Amino acid sequence: MTSVLLLAGGCGTGAQSSASATDATISLWTRDTQKEFINLVADAWNESHDTKVEVTLVPAADFIQKLATSATSGNAPDVASIDLVYLPYFASTGTLEDITELADDLPYKDSLSPSHRALATYNERTYALPFSGEASVLIYNKSLFKAAGLDPEKPPKNYAEIISAANKISDLGPDIHGFAIAGQCGGCNVFEFTPHVWASGGEVLSEDGSQARFDSQEVTDALTFYRRLYTDGTMPAQSRTDNGTHQPAVFQTGRVGMVPLGAFYTQVLKQDSDVDFGVAPLPGKNGGWSSFAGGDEIAVMKNGENKKGARDFVTWATGEQAQKVLADNSITPVRNDLTDEIYVPLDPRNKLFAEAMEKGRTPYSTVEHQLFNDPNGPWIQMINKAVFGGDIAAAQKEGQEAAQAIIDRAPQGTNARGNR
DSSP 132-157: EEEEEEEEEEHHHHHHTT--TTS---
The secondary structure of residue 15, as a DSSP letter, is: S
| pLDDT-above-90 percentage for the chain | 85
Beta-carbon contacts of residue 399 (< 8 Å; ≥ 6 apart): 214, 215, 378, 379, 381, 382
Query: 269-286, pLDDT tens digit by residue?
Result: 988 779 999 999 999 999
Using the predicted structure, report yes or no on whether residue 91 has a pLDDT greater than 80: yes
Using the predicted structure, report yes or no on whether residue 9 has a pLDDT greater than 80: no
- Residue 193 to residues 3, 166, 221, 268, 358, Cα–Cα distance (Å): 28, 17, 11, 21, 18
Query: 396-416, pLDDT tens digit by residue?
Result: 999 999 999 999 998 764 455
Cα distance between residue 273 and residue 142, in whole Å:
13
Neighbours of 227 (CB within 10 A): 18
Integer Rg of the chain from CA: 21
Give the chain's mean pLDDT.
91
Residue 417: which pLDDT band, with cuts at 50, 70 and 90? low
Determine the average pLDDT of the residues in 3-25: 45
pLDDT of residue 207: 86
Determine the average pLDDT of the residues in 305-310: 94
* Nearest residue to 133 via CA among 309, 344, 278, 289: 344
150 touches 208 (CB < 8 A):
no
Number of H helices, E strands in the chain: 20, 12
